[in-house]
Amino acid sequence: MGTRTAVAAFATCAALLAATGCSSSFGDKEPEQDKAGKQKLTVLIATSGDTETQAVKAAAAAYEKKSGNSVTVETAKDMNQQLAQAFAGHKPPDVFYVNTDQFANYAKGGSLYPYGDRISDADDFSQQLRTSFSYDGKLVCLPKDTSTLGLAINTDLWKKAGLTEKDYPKSWEELKTVADKLTGKGVTGLVTSDEYQRLGVFMKQAGGWLTDPSQKKMTADSPENAKGLEFVQSMLKSGSMKFAKQVDTSWGGEALGKGKAAMTIEGNWLQGGMKLDYPDVKYAIAPLPAGPAGQGTLAFSNCWGVAADSAHRDASVDLVKYLTSAKQQIAFADAFGVMPSRTSALKTYAEKVPAAKAWVEGSAYAQGPVTIAGFDKVLSQFNTDLQSLRTADPKKILADLQRNGEQAIAKGN
């Protein structure tokens, strides 16, 4: 490659890496591997707070004693930006969090070292989770934990409305009924975020989704998806459902904690937020009500990525094996409320935390995220369109999503 071309390619990659996953290697030879008996590893995480940071650092310290390797854990201020710069500059951390929005971008660009075939018990992770972090048919990285969505209920407001546990909604009609009954005097029956990461549950419950299971074909513009969004629209128009910002809150947990929402749709990270900010608020988690096609929820996760440019691949994979062991996943769950991604550890977690039953059981029928290179832009536009769902045409929103998604699939596969 000529010097001029290489410089131009490097500049383009540095500018576009975060969005496209442009490779940081440009076809160069494999990075020379450190053969020292003791290795120095760097780990970059996007933390939810001090509790998570300290838990990861404690796990790294335990690994250091076990392996003899040293591990430095750093927290990112802007994970995607810092990874993009690190990949482009050929100085990535050895191990790092990778979210599903960016996974395919990084995998397509060759920034991730695919170590899945070195994990002998990979089948202890559910098929849905493995699919989320596979590219070109190969498991690239291990999911570090898992989360699903449930219906969080402020039990004091529930009782004040004359409702009991028997009234927990099991269908859309029941959800609408109780939301109407709970709305009034500064309280909205259901408050949630104005994004597909919450509203998508209604599309799934109606029998739809954004793509087919192979992620090779868009299925957004369908009667099922329209039915899901139209149901949400009907609740928004009635006033029994509002988006979090409409009640001067930043997310569903805040609305629930401040007594502005009787119900919200959130994942198991809610536990940490409520414990920290609203420790006196009583709440319960129920399964999300079923729609015309049955039960539906969404699954979320990050994976432990290993850099393709790392000079410590073997030690990095060894560290990931330690961090994703059943014992360590339970320790993380105890520390900051995440659910284990290992099926065996998830069973232990369910026994230890009975209040999380609905979230745990949701794992059996949860829909994983779309992981197509460049699809993060499509979802960003979809979320922008959903903000106006109360007055917009759901079919138009879905038609635009279909068109944008088809373009991304054509480029990303």
Q: Is 65 or 269 the better-scoring residue by pLDDT?
A: 65
Residues in the chain: 413
45-49, 152-156, 209-213: segment of lowest average pLDDT: 45-49
Specify the amino acid at residue 175: L
CA 172 from chain centre, in angstroms, equals 25
Which pLDDT score is estimated for 1?
A: 32
What percentage of the chain exceeds 70 in pLDDT? Answer: 92
Indicate whether 413 pLDDT > 80.
Answer: no
Maximum Cα interatomic distance, the chain, rounded to a whole number of Å: 76
Indicate whether 56 pLDDT > 50.
Answer: yes
Which pLDDT score is estimated for 3?
A: 30
Q: What is the DSSP string of 169-218?
A: --BHHHHHHHHHHH-BTTBEEEEE-SSHHHHHHHHHHTT--SB-TTSSSB
**What is the rounded average pLDDT for all residues in the chain?**
91
Which pLDDT score is estimated for 19?
A: 42
Which pLDDT score is estimated for 27?
A: 46
Q: What is the β-pairing status of strands 147-154 and 261-267? A: antiparallel
Q: Is 4 or 91 the better-scoring residue by pLDDT?
A: 91
Other C-beta atoms lying within 10 Å of the C-beta of residue 56: 23
Q: Where are the beta strands (DSSP E) in 76-146?
A: 95-99, 134-135, 138-139, 142-143
| Reported confidence tier of residue 412, pLDDT bands at 50, 70, 90 | low
CA 54 from chain centre, in angstroms, equals 21
HEC assignment per residue over 350-407: HHHCHHHHHHHHHCCCEECCCCCCCHHHHHHHHHHHHCCCCCCCHHHHHHHHHHHHHH
List the structure tokens of 183: 């709305």
> pLDDT tens-digit profile of 40-52?
999 999 988 888 9
> pLDDT tens-digit profile of 226-256?
999 999 999 999 999 999 999 999 999 999 9
CB 260 within 8 A of CB 186: yes
Indicate whether 17 pLDDT > 60.
Answer: no
As a whole number, mean pLDDT of residues 9-32 equals 49
Q: Where are the beta strands (DSSP E) in 38-87?
A: 40-45, 70-75
**Cα separation, 219 vs 225, whole angstroms:** 9
CB 286 within 8 A of CB 74: no
What are the backbone dihedrals phi and psi of residue 349, each rounded to the nearest 5 degrees, phi first? -60, -45
**Cα separation, 358 vs 211, whole angstroms:** 26
Edge-to-edge order in the sheet of strand 40-45: 70-75, 40-45, 95-99, 302-306, 142-143
List the structure tokens of 151: 């219906």
Strand partners, 191: 242, 264
Q: What is the pTM of this model?
A: 0.87
Coil vs helix vs strand at 125? strand
Q: Is 7 or 347 the better-scoring residue by pLDDT?
A: 347
Q: CA–CA distance from 249 to each of 162, 193, 231, 271, 309 (Å)?
A: 26, 10, 23, 18, 42
List the structure tokens of 138: 């190969």
Indicate whether 2 pLDDT > 60.
Answer: no
Q: Smallest Cα–Cα separation from 349: which of 327, 323, 367?
A: 327
Which secondary-structure segment (H or E) carries 154?
strand 147-154
Which pLDDT score is estimated for 28?
A: 56
As a whole number, mean pLDDT of residues 162-167 equals 97
Specify the amino acid at residue 43: V
**Cα separation, 67 vs 60, whole angstroms:** 10
Which secondary-structure segment (H or E) carries 274?
helix 270-277
Which pLDDT score is estimated for 260?
A: 98
∠318-100-126 over CA atoms, to 5°? 65
As a whole number, mean pLDDT of residues 205-232 equals 97
Which pLDDT score is estimated for 273?
A: 86
**Cα separation, 106 vs 190, whole angstroms:** 37
Indicate whether 114 pLDDT > 60.
Answer: yes
As a whole number, mean pLDDT of residues 20-33 equals 61
CB 310 within 8 A of CB 153: no
Indicate whether 37 pLDDT > 90.
Answer: no
CB 276 within 8 A of CB 164: no
As a whole number, mean pLDDT of residues 380-403 equals 98
Q: What is the β-pairing status of strands 147-154 and 241-243? A: unpaired
